[in-house]
Structure 1
Amino acid sequence: MAKATSWRPWAIGIFVVALIGVAIAFQFRGPVQAGGAKVVNIAGIAYPYQGGQAYNGLTGVVIRQGWLKDELARRGVELVFTPVPTAVGGPMINEGFSGKRIDFASYGDFPAIIAVSGGVPLKLVAPLGQGQNSYLVVRNGLAASSIADLKGRKIALHRGRPWELPFSKLVDANGLKLGDFQIVNINPSATAAALASGSIDAAFLLSDGLLLEQQGAGRVIWSTKEAPADWRMRAELFARGGFVDENPELTQLVVDAFIRAAAWSAREENRQQVTRDAARGSMPVEIVARDYEESGITWRDRFSPLFTPNVAGHYRSVAAYAHDRGLVRSKVDADALLDTRFVEQSLRTLKLEGYWKPAGEGAQASRPQGPRS
């Protein structure tokens, strides 16, 4: 039998010192070590373009600028972008968040509320502008001038997408309910053919509605330009709650990158480039320009990342409306959803304090009258 080895006093001393060192390291480790993420995965709406993927909005600017990739690489962290087709945007991103396969995503307000209501912990870490307009389009030959004229008719509406909420608000504001219509759940790419064939009578869309009108497939009879600003569909930078808690430094870098992209996009000299990028692979430039120009929002304010009272009010409204109308089961605490600390730090770091004015969206957002329909 082998003889047992006895511990010498000097060996015991080294062992004790090592244990104390480990304890101190765990007690005082900073936020960089807390999460230890080696990969940051950002999902974004993307379109096939020239053999690759063209990312929508500020995500595309972040990729082109390359700053975030370089900053993460310096810390030994890989940056991965996950393209998401627009036809499955919200649901696919929600699945990615739920499965912890993505850490950040720039996507719409309503899908995010659905995710949080379903138990997916998200944080809104940066507002991305002042919202997008939605359009109600009717087929040619149909004598309709309002949502009320469409009662009992077939309306294409891609369920679960951000523009479902303004449609529901329009219906409600006119004393109607969703059951008063035959809702056809199809994605926007199939809408033109459905209108042309008479399979549907109308459709509710984003700027696709202007494109249908330009192509002669129908005519716009209403848009959120006629409604309070609160009705516009918003898209923000959302993050997985667990990632934010465990990796605050990396979260700050991601937010910094998006604020940099917003500041670049907000410069008037970059307007044409931004418009071309928005149209790339999905929409004619003139349609994007028309949607921008008719919005009533100044070019700089279009890219405001500020957590204004209207942002908070919008998400309270979305959360309450979605719950009250049975669109989600559990009501979301909108105030707990908003995490303002990273934008505040970004504005200080990038010396952008005062670049965007908090009052930029106030007048239209507080307008009390309902939509014309």
Structure 2
Amino acid sequence: MKRLIIAAITALITSSAMAEEVTIRFGYPGIGLDNRQYSQGDATSYARAREFIEKEFAADKDVKIEWTFFRGAGPALNESIAASQLDFFLLGDLPAIVGRSRGLEHKFVFATGRHQPIYLAVPADSTIQSINDVKGKKVALFKGTNLQLATDRVLSTHGLKEKDVRFINLDTNAAVPALTSGNVDAVFGGPEYLALAKKGIVKIVYTTKGDDPTLGRNSSYLVTTAFEQAHPDITQRVVTTFVKAAAFASDPANKDEVFDGWSLSGFPKETFEADIEGDTLANRLNPLIDDFVVARYKEQAARAKAYGLIKTDVDVDGWFEPKYLQQALKDLKLETYWSSFKVDGEIETAGVLDKKQTN
């Protein structure tokens, strides 16, 4: 009898332990060169490069970590969310809004990218010199990503509409050879074109840097509602770990180390140097959910519906879940580390990093 009781208790303990096993599945809407399982440009990609998450849960033998990088960017990542294959993920504003409009249930836990510049690249011998010159031209653009609506807004501020341009839907891997071979006249994209410009293969004739501060792209970090409700403790640890990575990466003293981490994606450090010129990592990697971030998402949701990209209104206010970010900032003593911004992109309350760089 005693043996039976011991066996039953052992089985119960084993069953309980098995029930507590958790695999945290992270998704990223991009991939490094040559299919490298790394990316660049935000704090979570730096955390991935230096295994911040893996180290946080190293002592938790029942917790496993999985990363998936998507060549198809936001649209492909949304498909994986719909199939319940991810728990945490980065998304640009448009694909996140599209997913929410289609019933995907997730929470916006912190900002991952602000003021991410858009670049207009053209062949080295092109006569295109400005935004206005793309009218009637064949231009590559990765549609369905946060680049699409952001580019439309750039055009509108310069007196153009999407229909004024002959857009060709190409992802980055296809757009680069299309541009260099002359199959398209120009391409709107990110810092991946800066290395080509330095080599003289293409020219950058416009960037949102220095233009209206509400231009550019924004992205967010999200957790599925199901995971957040089932594992609030793990959710907090994940958010705190990423905020810690953002704090480290935002410090100018750590810039070289951050760029080294991002270079695991295959992009050279010179690309990141050129991209951040005239800006700061603190500005780009600021995780706060302030008036600026809320306004950008409301604006993009309205634009997405106006352009027919979504059919219903999206409740933006009910989407944000700032409690994990606020707890992380408190625990890490970072409440005043980053600046908070007004709707128009002007600083509302200067953070420690911005004060240091202006003094």
Same fold (TM over 0.5): yes
Please tell me whether residue 339 in structure 1 is matched to residue 324 in structure 2. Answer: no
Give me the TM-score of the superposition, normalised by structure 2.
0.82
> What is the SS of the residue equivalent to 2:85?
coil
Q: Do the aligned residues in 2 keep the contact of 1:195 with 1:217 (CA within 8 Å)?
A: no
1:71 Cα offset (Å): 4.9
> What is the SS of the residue equivalent to 1:230?
coil
Q: Tell me: CA distance 1:365–1:213, structure 2 relative to 1, closer, same or farther (3 Å).
A: farther
Which residue of structure 1 lines up, in the alignment, with residue 351 of structure 2? none
Distance in 2, Cα, partners of 1:109 & 1:58: 17
Please tell me whether residue 200 in structure 1 is matched to residue 155 in structure 2. Answer: no
Distance in 2, Cα, partners of 1:66 & 1:287: 23
Q: Do the aligned residues in 2 keep the contact of 1:166 with 1:232 (CA within 8 Å)?
A: yes
User: AA paired with 1:180?
Assistant: D
User: AA paired with 1:254?
Assistant: V
Which residue of structure 2 lines up, in the alignment, with residue 314 of structure 1? 296
Which residue of structure 2 lines up, in the alignment, with residue 58 of structure 1? 43
> What is the SS of the residue equivalent to 1:231?
coil
Distance in 2, Cα, partners of 1:205 & 1:190: 12
1:106 Cα offset (Å): 1.9
Which residue of structure 2 lines up, in the alignment, with residue 189 of structure 1? 173
2:285 pairs, out of 282, 303, 323, with 303
> Deviations 1:203-246 (Å, cap 9, x if unpaired)?
10101232332232322221111432322212221111222223
Give the number of equivalent residue pairs: 329
The structure number with the bigger radius of gyration is 1
Q: Tell me: CA distance 1:246–1:281, structure 2 relative to 1, closer, same or farther (3 Å).
A: closer
Q: Tell me: CA distance 1:162–1:363, structure 2 relative to 1, closer, same or farther (3 Å).
A: closer
> Deviations 1:165-221 (Å, cap 9, x if unpaired)?
221112222333222222111121222322232211111010123233223232222
Which residue of structure 2 lines up, in the alignment, with residue 94 of structure 1? 78
2:213 pairs, out of 204, 211, 229, with 229
Please tell me whether residue 271 in structure 1 is matched to residue 255 in structure 2. Answer: yes
> What is the SS of the residue equivalent to 2:217?
coil
Distance in 1, Cα, partners of 2:117 & 2:343: 14
Distance in 1, Cα, partners of 2:128 & 2:50: 47
> Deviations 1:327-367 (Å, cap 9, x if unpaired)?
2222211112211111001111122221223249965589x
Which residue of structure 2 lines up, in the alignment, with residue 78 of structure 1? 63
> Deviations 1:129-155 (Å, cap 9, x if unpaired)?
423111112223332223332222100
Give me the TM-score of the superposition, normalised by structure 1.
0.80
Please tell me whether residue 171 in structure 1 is matched to residue 155 in structure 2. Answer: yes
Please tell me whether residue 352 in structure 1 is matched to residue 334 in structure 2. Answer: yes
Q: Do the aligned residues in 1 keep the contact of 2:38 with 2:69 (CA within 8 Å)?
A: no
Q: Do the aligned residues in 2 keep the contact of 1:135 with 1:206 (CA within 8 Å)?
A: yes
Which residue of structure 1 lines up, in the alignment, with residue 235 of structure 2? 251
Q: Do the aligned residues in 1 keep the contact of 2:46 with 2:262 (CA within 8 Å)?
A: no
Q: Do the aligned residues in 1 keep the contact of 2:118 with 2:188 (CA within 8 Å)?
A: yes
Q: Do the aligned residues in 1 keep the contact of 2:107 with 2:224 (CA within 8 Å)?
A: yes
> What is the SS of the residue equivalent to 2:68?
strand
1:60 Cα offset (Å): 4.2
Q: Do the aligned residues in 1 keep the contact of 2:140 with 2:187 (CA within 8 Å)?
A: yes
Distance in 2, Cα, partners of 1:289 & 1:360: 27
> What is the SS of the residue equivalent to 1:229?
coil
Q: Do the aligned residues in 2 keep the contact of 1:158 with 1:187 (CA within 8 Å)?
A: yes
Distance in 1, Cα, partners of 2:342 & 2:282: 10
Distance in 2, Cα, partners of 1:182 & 1:335: 35
Which residue of structure 2 lines up, in the alignment, with residue 40 of structure 1? 24
User: AA paired with 2:309?
Assistant: L
> What is the SS of the residue equivalent to 2:84?
coil
Which residue of structure 1 lines up, in the alignment, with residue 143 of structure 2? 159
Distance in 2, Cα, partners of 1:144 & 1:48: 28
Which residue of structure 2 lines up, in the alignment, with residue 31 of structure 1? none
Q: Do the aligned residues in 1 keep the contact of 2:239 with 2:324 (CA within 8 Å)?
A: yes
Distance in 1, Cα, partners of 2:343 & 2:282: 12
Which residue of structure 2 lines up, in the alignment, with residue 328 of structure 1? 310
Q: Tell me: CA distance 1:349–1:163, structure 2 relative to 1, closer, same or farther (3 Å).
A: same
Q: Tell me: CA distance 1:292–1:99, structure 2 relative to 1, closer, same or farther (3 Å).
A: same
Q: Do the aligned residues in 2 keep the contact of 1:137 with 1:203 (CA within 8 Å)?
A: yes
Distance in 1, Cα, partners of 2:135 & 2:175: 19
Q: Tell me: CA distance 1:134–1:185, structure 2 relative to 1, closer, same or farther (3 Å).
A: same
1:64 Cα offset (Å): 5.6
Please tell me whether residue 240 in structure 1 is matched to residue 234 in structure 2. Answer: no
Range moving further from structure 2, 340-349 or 245-254: 245-254
Q: Do the aligned residues in 2 keep the contact of 1:37 with 1:247 (CA within 8 Å)?
A: no
Distance in 1, Cα, partners of 2:340 & 2:61: 37
Distance in 1, Cα, partners of 2:231 & 2:296: 28
User: AA paired with 1:343?
Assistant: L
> What is the SS of the residue equivalent to 1:305?
coil
Q: Tell me: CA distance 1:78–1:92, structure 2 relative to 1, closer, same or farther (3 Å).
A: farther
Structure 2 gaps of 5+ residues are 1-18, 349-359
